[in-house]
Amino acid sequence: MTLAGYFTKLKKIYHDNCDEFRSRFGIPLSKYWDLVAYLGFDIVGFDEKFLKTPDGISTRAYVKEKYGEDAVKLLERLIESEKQEIK
């Protein structure tokens, strides 16, 4: 994938998921998505600053317990957006 293609894909993923993210978590996706460089979703920042997952439980398990399986799937889509090979 070219760099331009990568940025285009990240932009699409952001726009395709921003309304659902706000609906599920009550905050804008832009708070944890790098809109300047389109680097993707900041799962670490989201976990540490918003979720505040307790020790001894995985982020996935905590999200599933608190927000449901659909929220887990949403976060997985956002994380997958970063796993693109740039040529």
Distance CA 41, CA 30 (A): 9
Q: What is the separation, in whole angstroms, between the first and last Cα of the chain? A: 6
- Domain ranges across the chain: 3-80
Which contacts (CB < 8 Å, 24+ apart) does range 27-31 have?
Answer: 29/78
pLDDT at 37 over 70: no
What is the pLDDT averaged over residues 21-43?
84
Least confident of 19-28, 31-40, 59-68: 31-40
CA 55 distance to own-chain centroid: 21
Question: What is the phi-psi region of residue 67: left when phi exceeds 0, alpha when psi lies from -120 to 50, beta otherwise?
Answer: alpha
pTM of the model: 0.69
